[in-house]
Structures are given as C-alpha cells and as structure tokens.
Amino acid sequence: MLTEYLEAAMARAEYEVLGGGAGYYGCVPGLDGLWGQAATLEACRVDLRAALEGWVLLGLRQGSRLPALDGIDLCAEPAVG
C-alpha cells in the first residue's frame, strides 16, 4: 500500500525549469510543504521522491491526516474481521 501511495503521488508531480540555469523544481499539488530541487530533471525527481518518503513517514509518525490518493488512504483504520 505504501509503494502504491508513493507512485500515485509521483504521478501527480509537477516540474518547472528554474531561471538562470538554476535547475529544476518539483512538487506534488495537494501535498503541502513537499518539494524537490536539483540541477537536472532526473535528479529533481529523485530528490522529490526522497522528500516524499520522508514527508509520509513523518506525517504518519506524528499522526497527521495524509490525503488519500487514488483511493489509497494510509490513515484508514484497518478492517477488522
């Protein structure tokens, strides 16, 4: 479930070229405070993915309500049965 959540988030990622040859900036709309920046687009993707992993783990540890993505809700109560 965690891998699917990370993949769903990265599929939403948006990137932009920074002026002055400063590289690339990436974020995932709806996931506040999450961004990455690097000299190349691929390095920016890697940086954003690492930031996403830390963002999710910290959010879960702090008991924050993370938004559901593509029907994947990491904060849902497990089914009893």
- Kindly state the tokens that stand for 3: 């891998």
pLDDT tens for 5-33 read: 999 999 999 999 999 999 999 999 999 99
Q: What is the CATH number of domain 2-62?
A: 3.30.160.250
**Predicted pLDDT of residue 69:** 96
Give 10-48 as a 3 state SS string.
Answer: HHCCEEEEEHHHCEEEEECCCCCCCEEEECCHHHHHHHH
Question: pTM (2 decimals)?
Answer: 0.90
Average pLDDT of the residues in 29-47: 97
Domain ranges in the chain are 2-62
How does the average pLDDT of the chain come out, rounded? 94
